[in-house]
Structure 1
Amino acid sequence: MLLFRIREDQKFITLYKPGFWLAGLAATFIGNGIGRFAYITLMPALIQANWFSKEDAAQLGVATLIGYLLGPIFIQRVIKRISNTILVGCGMVLCSLSYLACSFPNMSFLWFYGWRFLAGFGGAILMVLAAPMILPHVPTAQRGRVAGVIFSGIGLGAAASGLLIPLMVNINVVFAWLTMGISCSLLSFMTWKTWADISVESTVSTYVNHSHMGDTAVNLWRNHSMWYLLIAYAFNAVGFLPHTLFWVDFMVRELGFSLAVGGVSWSLFGIGAALGPLLTGILGDRWGFRRSLLVCFALKAFGVALPLITTTLWVLHFSAFLVGMFTPGIVTLVSMYALELVGAKQHRFVWSTMTFSFALTQAFGGFCMALLISHADSYLPLYAISATALVISILCIMATHPEDSPQLKQNT
């Protein structure tokens, strides 16, 4: 049974099916929710169990960011030769294997670095391809909500890891690695056929009139609003780095809270991240994506700056929840705003380019922060840097002009 039916006179074909959103949610759950964010809770346990030093554990986090940087480049190189379905399958397999491979405690640092790199690489593939494969099949009025469901997988993975990893570490660290690897493997198996179905459906164009799509597409390099959006998204990558690299370690080893308390705080980040895309998707449909982005960037900047004001526990929890809510929530809005600005035909290329710019800034920022923290006694300066980056994002969004978008011109 089809979830939506779209009229032929709107140039759409009825393609969207209920299983599609579940596959998209599973992809972001595996690629970022577990593939990347679960490591945040595990990091202090690895240091305390003497698996790695503080500096090495931080570099393993950066390895994931470097993999996330190179994933979009790989996609651009091979997208015409390898089907999206195969690429998504490779991404899920890499993320699953990365955790299983890290369960061997006596391997070298390079072994762990390589597998954390592959986790980021596979996660980037899933983040780049999942939404653009599904969203063009969704009616325009519903895209914000469906995108919210897809990207909520990031938060669900973070929430699950924050609650469960402290319990699993009480057994041992190996058990935690294995459990995450097996969970990703099961989700990959459950949604494997759905991605093949999406690929088959995509061979029938979501738009009936290809020439009309060509007329409405905008050259990315001449679209000034698209450039401002890309820059805002790149600085957004810096804005959430202290929370997504060091939050639990900041609470446990700098502020003296227990790993369980740090895990609860990270689970609040995850709960916020699960709710954020759903709420921002609805907000984007009602308010428009530009206005929604301005509000969300402002609230996220406030959340990042809160530890600079006070380190009271409930304020830290609120900071984690607020930043969590707008981490994938802003991803949802940016993806949909890009679709509005450039049209559906260019969306995959634009989203891949934006993911690369995000990953480049994220990897460089993460490397610099890991280097800085190895010579500093506190994580707090990192939060000041990130809050400033988010203010720059706000200014960039203010400079965009959605009224020039091809989608709006097409509907007038």
Structure 2
Amino acid sequence: MDKKQLSFLTGGLLAMAIALGIGRFSYTPILPLMQQKFEFSETIAGYLASANYAGYLIGAILTGLFSMRARTVPVLRLSLIIGVVTTLLMSLTTSYIGWAILRFLSGICSALVFVLASSMVLEKLRGIDKTNWSGFFYMGPGYGIFLTGISIPLFYNSWGWKGAWIGLSGLSLFLLIFVFLTFKETPGFLHNKKGRTFQKSLVPPRKWLPLLILANGCEGLGYIVTGTFIVSIAQNTPSFHFESSIIWTVVGVTAIPSCLIWSSLARRWGFVKSLVLAMLLQAVGISIPVFFSSPFSLFTSAAIFGATFMGITALGATLLGKMVPTNNSRIMGVFTVAYAIGQMIGPTLAGALSEATSNYRASLLGAAGIILIGAISLISGLKYERKKESKSKSPHLFKS
């Protein structure tokens, strides 16, 4: 991969860091700080989270309904700008309705960036037969999460909860400059007919897509419970005497290399097998705080969660990109819609259930169970992978 291609890929990584790692997930570590100040319930917290994911759903639907191929870069850039502005505006109101509207708009922008950036990057990587680099691109949210985890305590200790939102918007603006300089259309980067044909011949048939989409919906519904409340869980655990935001830093640290690791495992074992393993591991990690409440168990749960949630997204999106190798922004939108529906429902249900039971145990067990169902729905693909491996007599089923 030459310098121009690596620069483009880095720009995509930073776009994902802004839109998802900061714009979408910053609510998780700031939530307990806002609850301390305004004393709102877990149900309200769930509603605010769901507002963001409802926006994410709308954004995903838009990309599924309308082809944005000719306007990809302008729409992506506008989405990033609006996302940064909504992060800033979170500090300028104390209205629940105002927060919900801003989180909703942020969600729309996050989905547009995820779908459009993924489509751009995956198509270009297929064109040069470098889809194994998709793991580098999907490290972006992990970087964003890590940055929020280490910076929010600094902003909060200096300027309070408002300072946390303002500081993150400034950080996003700084990263946005690099995105505008590096992440743009480069037509000469695209075309490699041989590489593109090679990729197409080594993937599951399109008739298997509904099961992949179903599993992605289960992942969205299950992962988001921990993704929304893990910092609050740590803060409400009597034995946890650390700064609660350090839990989110652990998530970011393990998320950063996870996509590269899972992409490597997928080339060795196959995408379906890797997806099933990642989802099973995530279900175990999510359920750990149900049975153990020590600081070590919370750190372990956070580490496993970080090591799997973006890896699962990267594996699923890359596999879908291989199955639908060109003009795939619409099917990527459908794929993301399933995920968005799940993650929109999850926080509201988990928040209400947690408030009713005065703990998160039932919510976490339910989330782990849903992810387990998603993993089971993929099992039929294992037979296909074994069949293809036998036919090709190669241990590297999806070698990129």
What TM bracket, shorter-length normalisation?
0.7 to 0.9
Q: TM-score, normalized by length of structure 2? A: 0.88
Q: How does 1:42-121 map to 2 (within 5 A)?
A: 42-50=30-38, 52-80=40-68, 83-106=71-94, 108-121=95-108
Residue 151 (structure 1) shift: 1.1
Q: 1:270 to 1:81 in 2, by over 3 A?
A: closer
Residue 17 (structure 1) shift: 1.2
Asked if 1:399 corresponds to 2:356, the answer is no
| Corresponding residue SS for 1:138 | helix
Counterpart for residue 12 of structure 1 = none
Asked if 1:170 corresponds to 2:152, the answer is no
Match of 2:308 among 305, 318, 326: 326
Residue 217 (structure 1) shift: 12
Asked if 1:281 corresponds to 2:263, the answer is yes
CA distance in 1, matches of 2:344, 2:292: 28
Q: 2:220·2:338 contact (CA, 8 Å) conserved in 1?
A: no
Counterpart for residue 2 of structure 1 = 2
Asked if 1:359 corresponds to 2:340, the answer is yes
Q: 1:147 to 1:74 in 2, by over 3 A?
A: same
Residue 251 (structure 1) shift: 1.4
Match of 2:191 among 206, 214, 220: 206
Question: For this pair of structures, how many residues does the alignment match?
Answer: 387
Counterpart for residue 133 of structure 1 = 120
Match of 1:244 among 209, 227, 252: 227
Match of 1:34 among 22, 30, 40: 22
Match of 1:371 among 352, 355, 358: 352
Residue 48 (structure 1) shift: 0.5
Asked if 1:190 corresponds to 2:175, the answer is no
Counterpart for residue 284 of structure 2 = 302
Q: 1:224 to 1:79 in 2, by over 3 A?
A: closer
Q: TM-score, normalized by length of structure 1? A: 0.85
Counterpart for residue 366 of structure 2 = 385
| Corresponding residue SS for 2:38 | coil
Deviates more, 1:86-95 or 1:345-354: 345-354
Residue 367 (structure 1) shift: 2.4
Residue 52 (structure 1) shift: 4.3
Q: Which amino acid aligns with 2:34?
A: L
Asked if 1:337 corresponds to 2:319, the answer is yes
Q: 2:237·2:293 contact (CA, 8 Å) conserved in 1?
A: no
Deviates more, 1:315-324 or 1:187-196: 187-196
Q: 2:266·2:398 contact (CA, 8 Å) conserved in 1?
A: no
Q: 1:236 to 1:54 in 2, by over 3 A?
A: closer
Residue 53 (structure 1) shift: 4.3
Residue 206 (structure 1) shift: 3.1
CA distance in 1, matches of 2:109, 2:378: 29
| Corresponding residue SS for 1:240 | helix
CA distance in 1, matches of 2:377, 2:388: 16
Q: 1:46·1:57 contact (CA, 8 Å) conserved in 2?
A: no
Q: Which amino acid aligns with 1:151?
A: Y
Point out 4+ residue stretches in structure 1 off by more than 6 angstroms. Answer: 215-218, 408-411
Q: Which amino acid aligns with 1:396?
A: S
Residue 58 (structure 1) shift: 2.7
Q: 1:377 to 1:36 in 2, by over 3 A?
A: same
Residue 77 (structure 1) shift: 3.7
Counterpart for residue 9 of structure 1 = none
Q: Deviations over 1:22-57 (max 9, x none)?
A: 111111101110011111010000011127444333
Residue 167 (structure 1) shift: 2.6
Q: Deviations over 1:126-146 (max 9, x none)?
A: 1111122012222576313x2
Residue 87 (structure 1) shift: 1.3
Counterpart for residue 235 of structure 1 = 218
Residue 102 (structure 1) shift: 0.9
CA distance in 2, matches of 1:244, 1:255: 21
Residue 179 (structure 1) shift: 0.8
Q: Which amino acid aligns with 1:336?
A: T
Q: 1:105·1:174 contact (CA, 8 Å) conserved in 2?
A: no
The percent of aligned pairs where both chains have the same amino acid is: 23
Deviates more, 1:345-354 or 1:41-50: 345-354
CA distance in 2, matches of 1:72, 1:323: 24
Q: 2:145·2:252 contact (CA, 8 Å) conserved in 1?
A: yes
| Corresponding residue SS for 2:346 | helix
CA distance in 2, matches of 1:64, 1:362: 9
Q: Which 5+ residue runs of structure 2 have no aligned equivalent?
A: none
Residue 110 (structure 1) shift: 1.7
Residue 256 (structure 1) shift: 6.2
Asked if 1:22 corresponds to 2:10, the answer is yes
Match of 1:150 among 127, 137, 144: 137
Deviates more, 1:234-243 or 1:249-258: 249-258
Q: 1:129 to 1:39 in 2, by over 3 A?
A: same
